[in-house]
Amino acid sequence: MTSFTYDPFKFSHDTNSFQKQAYEAAIAKTQEIVKTKENIKTFSVARKICKEAFEIFKNNMQATFPDPSCKDLVEITISSRETIFFVELNEKITSILKSD
Amino acid sequence: MDPSSKINSSIQQPYVKGPNTISNQQTDAASNAPAPVNDNVRDAVRRAIKQFSEDRMAKIASLQIREPVQALQNSLEELNKLSLSYANAVNLLDESEDDDDLDAQAEVARKEMAGLIQTLVEKHKSLGINKAWFDSWWLLERVDKNVREISLEYLTEQLLNRCVDRTCFLEETRKVIEAQKKQIIREFYQNTNAIADANQMSFDLFPIGSETHNRGKTPVQITFASNKTELFSIVFKPRDARIDALVIDLFGSFNNLDRANKSIDVTLPVYKILNVTPNSPYSLWEYIKPQPGVEWPGDTASTAIKAMNRSEQLLPQLMRLESICSYLNISDLHTDNLILFSPNQKDIQIVPIDLESIQYDSTTGLFLDRPDIPKLTEAEEELLKKCKSAIGDVPARFVPIVTSHFLTSLPRYNSYVKIAKNIVDTITRKNYTLAVEIARMEWLVLEDFLCNDVPYLIEYQSQIFYGPLNHNNPIARRTVK
């Protein structure tokens, strides 16, 4: 988990940008589904959207920070965002799907 | 305390990477096994849990919170069962996404768990619990099935310690503030009759830090009131603030320079910071109220002011801060450590509220890329030299890893191993020689993590100490070349 290959503040900034992009895209997708589909299986749909959003975030991180010396740091940062995608976002998406 | 991990008294002994760690004491056969569960890590976590649960019993007896803590512990057993059911339901659903029954089962498991968490939050408000403290229980479904049991044991212990440590710390804070009440009123409340009224004033405590250190310690906003009318607030920090006070004094000296002696004509924020006593582990800070409704959009101030369309107004202030802080090697100035303050309706100031971290090879963190700063004037350089010399005699915070990386590691029962390794790597890279065994470092980090604490290191007189200076726990010494 070497921290000098990437500037920690730039690393943090890029991480937050990727997280925001994936998060907002997931919300937009949910709103689209609510408009266009009926009889939605709330749990499954929310789960699928969250998993996709997390994968997008993860792929962006791995592609942007490929240096092997930072592998641990990148992994820890990715897993740290699981709360955002699988708890917070999941709750938000479930609420949007149910409010239809 | 782990008996196998005593501090090596010979501080000269170099750090040697090798088998003498908690994490790699496995046999080769075990390390080649598929999907390994590191028994040594699991055993170390269980040993630490046993030690902490015994310590906790002693603490709660003195605080008279045995009943609520016991009730919480029982409820957490129930939560652990629900969390396992939820994780299994979600994993089954993931394997066959379109199954209506599995979807319904997962939804039932989700509702049961959410219901219990809601109940726990309401029932145990006095222990400081909030909904976010349970986030890791939702993530059990993402943890390998082999380590779910130990993960839950770890999370349970961490949450119980968090509640008890918080209660202990607030009790300690209350005592310090009570003892310092008259001084606080005299120093921070602008009312001439206030001292006479001190006995009539009450105060409330509001923990405000995003992380805790050294067994639940965090900054606390203290609000004083009289007859239920709020009068003023201060911030209590459980740490030495001599460096912060020296730097804020320096801001004042810069402000007082003639225009001709200023490289940038900007007024910097000046406010009051007092150590309770000169070497005290407690400090009292003037409360800087953040501008309501204005939040930093991001971690780095230079990017954030651009996103807020405030560059024209705030960039000169940021440059001024950069020119001073970079000279003094102050780092870790991410936006959590900066407040946007409006002294009046027109102006806005960037106020640093944590200037304790001195890192000789780091940037300040105010800018993503180091900006071109106007050359300092002779008068400015003179002031900076004096301040730097004074700072050199004071213990400074040593931040081996960005705080957010510590925070993100806390929920994983085995992350202490990587974090300890990273601390050691950073220390050795910065020309320090480790004075303890790596197993000892891992144990220290594990103890902190089991209390949900971010490790706190101090650099002082060519040594690095783990924890507060008064714990006298040296872990490294500067390498003599």
| pLDDT bracket for residue A79 (50, 70, 90) | confident
Min distance B258 CA to chain A CA atoms (Å): 35
Domain extent, residue B126, equals 37-165
Residues B15 and B113 in one domain: no
What is the per-residue pLDDT for B344?
78
Residues B15 and B63 in one domain: no
Q: For residue B29, is pLDDT > 60?
A: no
CB–CB contact B139 A86 (8 Å):
yes
The answer to the question of residue B246 being in a domain is: no
The answer to the question of residue B274 being in a domain is: no
**Residues of A whose CB is below 8 A from B419:** 1
Residues B7 and B72 in one domain: no
**Residues of B whose CB is below 8 A from A8:** 365, 402
Q: Which of B92, B442, B155, B405 has the alpha carbon at shortest distance from A79? A: B405
The answer to the question of residue B409 being in a domain is: yes
CB–CB contact B300 A82 (8 Å):
no
Min distance B110 CA to chain A CA atoms (Å): 9
- Give pLDDT tens digits for B122-165: 999 888 899 999 999 999 999 999 999 999 999 999 999 999 99
- As for how many domains chain B has, the answer is 2
Do the Cβ atoms of A74 and A65 come closer than 8 Å?
A: yes
Min distance B365 CA to chain A CA atoms (Å): 6
Give the Cα separation of A66 and A53 in Å (integer). Answer: 20
Q: Which two tokens stand for residue B223?
A: 């609000």
Residues B10 and B110 in one domain: no
Q: Which candidate from A2, A10, A13 shows the least CB-CB separation from B425? A: A2
Q: How far is CA B61 from CA A95, B67, B123, in A?
A: 43, 10, 20
CB–CB contact B408 A77 (8 Å):
yes
Please state, for a pLDDT cut of 90, what percent of chain B lies above it.
65
Last residue of a domain, one of B165, B187, B221: B165
Q: Which of B50, B65, B46, B282 has the alpha carbon at shortest distance from B163? A: B65
DSSP state of A85: I
**Residues of B whose CB is below 8 A from A42:** 103, 107
Min distance A80 CA to chain B CA atoms (Å): 5
CB–CB contact A80 B401 (8 Å):
no
**Residues of B whose CB is below 8 A from A77:** 405, 408
Q: Which residues contact B371 (CB under 8 A, 6 or more apart)?
A: B302, B319, B322
The answer to the question of residue B335 being in a domain is: no
Give the Cα separation of A34 and B26 in Å (integer). Answer: 52
Give the Cα separation of B364 and B350 in Å (integer). Answer: 14
Q: Which residues contact A53 (CB under 8 A, 6 or more apart)?
A: A22, A23, A25, A26, A85, A89
**Residues of B whose CB is below 8 A from A5:** none
CA B204 from centroid of its chain's CA atoms: 22
* Phi, psi for residue B458 in degrees, rounded to 5: -125, 140
| pLDDT bracket for residue B99 (50, 70, 90) | confident
The answer to the question of residue B362 being in a domain is: no
**Is pTM beyond 0.80 here?**
yes
**Residues of B whose CB is below 8 A from A76:** 405, 408-409, 415, 418
The answer to the question of residue B315 being in a domain is: no
CB–CB contact A79 B408 (8 Å):
yes
Last residue of a domain, one of B165, B185, B215: B165
Do the Cβ atoms of B396 and B458 come closer than 8 Å?
A: yes
CB–CB contact B401 A1 (8 Å):
yes
Which range has the worst mean pLDDT, A31-35, B97-101, B305-309? Answer: B97-101
- Give pLDDT tens digits for B214-253: 999 999 999 999 888 899 999 999 999 999 999 999 999 9
Residues B7 and B63 in one domain: no
Residue to substitute from B111, B144, B151, B299, interface A, most A β-carbons within 10 A? B299
What is the per-residue pLDDT for B393?
87
Q: What spatial distance separates the first Cα and last Cα of chain A, rounded to whole Å?
A: 45
What is the per-residue pLDDT for B402?
74
Burial of A99 (0-12, 13-18, 19+ CB in 10 A): exposed
Residues B159 and B42 in one domain: yes
Do the Cβ atoms of B248 and B330 come closer than 8 Å?
A: no
Mean pLDDT of chain B: 87
Q: How far is CA B166 from CA A25, A56, B211, in A?
A: 38, 38, 12
- Give pLDDT tens digits for B176-225: 999 999 999 999 997 766 555 778 899 999 999 889 999 999 999 999 99
What is the per-residue pLDDT for B12?
30
User: Which residues make beta-bridge pairs with B207?
Assistant: B220
Ranges A4-13, B61-70, B360-369, B441-450, most confident: B441-450
Give the Cα separation of B432 and B445 in Å (integer). Answer: 19
The answer to the question of residue B91 being in a domain is: yes
Residues B17 and B121 in one domain: no
Give the Cα separation of B4 and B2 in Å (integer). Answer: 6
| pLDDT bracket for residue B19 (50, 70, 90) | very low
Residues B41 and B150 in one domain: yes
The answer to the question of residue B295 being in a domain is: no
The alpha carbon torsion through B258, B264, B265, B267 (nearest 10 deg) reads -100
- Dihedral sign of CA atoms B216, B217, B219, B221 in order: positive
Task: Sheet containing B474-478: give its strands across.
Answer: B396-398, B457-460, B463-466, B474-478, B432-434
Give the Cα separation of A93 and A99 in Å (integer). Answer: 10
Residues B9 and B70 in one domain: no
Last residue of a domain, one of B118, B136, B165: B165
| pLDDT bracket for residue B59 (50, 70, 90) | confident
CB atoms within 10 A of CB A63: 9
Residue to substitute from A43, A90, A98, interface B, most B β-carbons within 10 A? A43
**Residues of B whose CB is below 8 A from A72:** 418, 422
Closest-approach residue (CA) in chain A for B97: A44
Residues B16 and B131 in one domain: no
Do the Cβ atoms of B338 and B353 come closer than 8 Å?
A: yes
